[in-house]
Amino acid sequence: MTVSIIGANVLTEQWRVVAATKTKTILVQSKSDDNSIGCQFNLRLRYGVEGVETPIYSQETTTFLEPNQARLIDFRELVPGDFQDSYPVGAWQIEAQIAYNFAPILIRYYEVDLRDADKAFYQGQLNSKADSDHNHVVADIANLETLLLAKLNAPTTPPTPGQILRATGPDTWTWQTVASGDGGGVVLPAEIVTTVNGETGDVVIDPPPLATATQSGLISAQLFALLTGQNATNGQALQIIGGIPTWGDLTVFATPIQWQKLTANATLETDKRYFVKGGSEFTLPATVSGSIEISNQTTTTVTIIAAGTARINGIATDNLVEISQQERVKIKPGKSAKLIADGGNWESQDCDNSFLRFTYAGSPAVGNPQNPLGARGILDYFGRLQAINAGVSGWQNPTTGAATVTAAASAIESGSVAQLSDQVAGGQTIYTNNAIGSWFGWRFPVQVRFTGFIFQTNAGLAAHLPRSWLIRVGTLPALVVGQSVSTLTVVDTRSDQTNITQPNTYYGPYYFTRTQGNTVVWQNNGMTSSNNNYTMGQEFEFFGDID
């Protein structure tokens, strides 16, 4: 049961809203105000119903109260039956109207949530004390008010610090002192806790200790204030200043970017930025850590060199070829590059291989867009380069004209060595003398790290197909017809190549260990398919790297 007190003056014959309630039982009490005569007034409810816009009014009840007289009224008796059964009723408003004797009267409404049994009991208390005129003395009203308030309120005397409210009976309450034990613990009196774990008497409840970096627990008032920002102002941040957590204006410490200008070859330092205006070779630090940024502001390519066993990886910018375990990379004029330490090596960005790499595209007559100048291979590259240097478009046979590549053989009995790189689609027959160890060879103007080759068989002499050969690589000051090539290193040996069955057909690629030199030789090492010692072929192309 809950009780609340609502007071309102009703002075005229006009209906006036004097209270709002969600309960349906109220106690009406009149008290004299400058007069002692009685008063008759009407009460009704105005309430809202879901789905009905116009307010609904209950039946009216007429009440005559002498001064200091009280009556319990149950408005459930006034609600129309059809609304009780069909519509949910929400909030109620109590309206009052003076019907007799317009002297000022204060009507006190005690909004009471009563069970039916409680209502009957309290109305009986009133009725038993009423005289023939239904009057109640002041003490009766006061006693009823005290009984009602006791259902909800605490004792009328205020508590002292440290006391708690304890029930001492169904409708009686008292204030009980709670003491503090050692270490800040709370002692609950035996009257409140009669038994805990089989123990009787006072029970001490110890709070957990203060929290630490390694232990959960309570936080101090100072720490709570710090964490909740009670002393902070807008825009401040919780930060560590001088080792102490403090709310303050956020300070962002930044290291300004500084560039160092280089005008000559130098060894670079970790976590530095360089603006290159001179020099051509720059060595990375011996210790692989951090990062380095380099901007090449010259008109020529500069080379970056790894120190010790460290190597450089990445993707080349010129042809998207992988940079894998390279000792050197290059940076083009007007370009900037970054190198970042990665597990004892350097990972590069916007660098290029320091060499030209030529790989097979899968078709002998098609250029590889990833190769320099989109060439088919190294011979094709020098033919394109020779055309560029001559100021003409397209391609030139690199073994004729300006002859950037020298072609030779042990001897020639059919055709010419120039035909071995003339890119004629087919129909040619070129072969050497019929002698063991006969050869075709090419000398390039630069050092090449050869990795493989393809070749095309002769158009004629279908019975004379190669079966066994050697690949030799090395450096020679010159290459002429008939000279010895025995000083060149054998890097690949093939024998009994019975898969070569068709004339005028490309075979390969044949790969071998990357070997450096300016000369490569294809040498007969056994009988052909017709049991002779000719070195025979029509077109050749080589693959590898050029520094």
125 by DSSP, 3-state: which? helix
Q: What is the pLDDT of residues 496-520, one digit of tens each?
A: 999 999 999 999 999 999 999 999 9
**Could you tell me which residue, 133 or 332, shows the higher pLDDT?**
332
The answer to whether residue 188 scores a pLDDT higher than 70 is no
Residue 275 lies in a domain: yes
Residue 384: DSSP 8-state: H
Q: Nearest CA to 175 among 195, 148, 153? A: 153
Residues 339 and 411 in one domain: no
pLDDT at 185: 47
Cα–Cα distance measured from residue 203 to residue 213, given in angstroms and rounded to the nearest whole number: 31
Residue 415 lies in a domain: yes
Neighbours of 163 (CB within 10 A): 13
Cα–Cα distance measured from residue 507 to residue 182, given in angstroms and rounded to the nearest whole number: 97
Tell me if 48 sits within 8 A of 13, measured CB to CB. no
Measure the CA dihedral 231/233/234/240, to 10°. Answer: -70
Domain with 57 in it: what CATH number?
2.60.120
User: Rounded to the nearest 5°, which phi and psi values hold at 488?
Assistant: -75, 150
Residues 326 and 440 in one domain: no
Residue 381 lies in a domain: no
Residues 431 and 524 in one domain: yes
When pLDDT is cut at 50, 70 and 90, the band that residue 218 belongs to is confident
When pLDDT is cut at 50, 70 and 90, the band that residue 111 belongs to is low
Least confident of 80-84, 288-292, 450-454: 80-84
Measure the CA dihedral 151/156/157/160, to 10°. Answer: 50
User: Rounded to the nearest 5°, which phi and psi values hold at 144?
Assistant: -65, -40
Residues 345 and 410 in one domain: no
Residues 46 and 113 in one domain: yes
Structure tokens at 265: 């070859």
The tally of domains found in the chain comes to 3
Cα–Cα distance measured from residue 291 to residue 19, given in angstroms and rounded to the nearest whole number: 79
User: Rounded to the nearest 5°, which phi and psi values hold at 378?
Assistant: -70, -45
The answer to whether residue 544 scores a pLDDT higher than 90 is yes
Residues 436 and 306 in one domain: no
Bond before 369 cis per omega within 30 degrees: no
Where does residue 423 fall: left (phi above 0), alpha (psi -120 to 50 degrees), or beta otherwise? left
Cα–Cα distance measured from residue 525 to residue 196, given in angstroms and rounded to the nearest whole number: 104
Domain C-terminal end among 311, 339, 354: 354
Residue 268 lies in a domain: yes
Give the E-state strand segments of 123-243 in sequence order.
Answer: 163-167, 173-177, 179-180, 186-188, 203-205, 236-241
Cα–Cα distance measured from residue 109 to residue 18, given in angstroms and rounded to the nearest whole number: 9
**Could you tell me which residue, 44 or 405, shows the higher pLDDT?**
405
> β-pairing, 39-49 with 281-283?
unpaired
Report field, pTM of the whole predicted structure over 0.75: no
Tell me if 78 sits within 8 A of 42, measured CB to CB. no
Max alpha carbon distance in the chain (Å)? 156
Give the E-state strand segments of 11-168 in sequence order.
Answer: 16-21, 25-31, 39-49, 52-57, 61-65, 70-74, 89-100, 105-112, 163-167
Residues 430 and 297 in one domain: no
15 by DSSP, 3-state: which? coil
Q: What is the mean pLDDT of the chain?
A: 77
Residues 10 and 140 in one domain: yes
The C-alpha angle with vertex 271 and arms to 266 and 277, in degrees rounded to 5, equals 40
Name the residue range of residue 279's domain: 259-354
The answer to whether residue 486 scores a pLDDT higher than 70 is yes
Measure the CA dihedral 30/31/34/39, to 10°. Answer: 20
Residues 121 and 10 in one domain: yes
Residue 297 lies in a domain: yes
Residue with tokens 């970096």: 213
Counting Cβ atoms within 10 Å, is residue 377 exposed (0-12), middle (13-18) or buried (19+)? buried
Residues 326 and 422 in one domain: no
Residues 419 and 527 in one domain: yes
**Could you tell me which residue, 37 or 261, shows the higher pLDDT?**
261
Give the E-state strand segments of 79-235 in sequence order.
Answer: 89-100, 105-112, 163-167, 173-177, 179-180, 186-188, 203-205
Cα–Cα distance measured from residue 352 to residue 76, given in angstroms and rounded to the nearest whole number: 95
pLDDT at 275: 95
Q: How far is CA 107 from the centre of its chain?
A: 68
Domain C-terminal end among 109, 133, 150: 150
Residue 305 lies in a domain: yes
Q: What percent of the chain is modeled with pLDDT above 70?
A: 60
Domain C-terminal end among 317, 337, 354: 354
Residue 327 lies in a domain: yes
The answer to whether residue 521 scores a pLDDT higher than 70 is yes
Tell me if 369 sits within 8 A of 376, measured CB to CB. no
Residues 35 and 107 in one domain: yes
Tell me if 410 sits within 8 A of 486, measured CB to CB. no
> β-pairing, 272-276 with 259-262?
parallel
Domain with 442 in it: what CATH number?
2.60.120.260
The answer to whether residue 472 scores a pLDDT higher than 90 is yes
**Could you tell me which residue, 155 or 213, shows the higher pLDDT?**
213
Residue 41 lies in a domain: yes
pLDDT at 522: 97
Least confident of 149-153, 282-286, 293-297, 300-304: 149-153
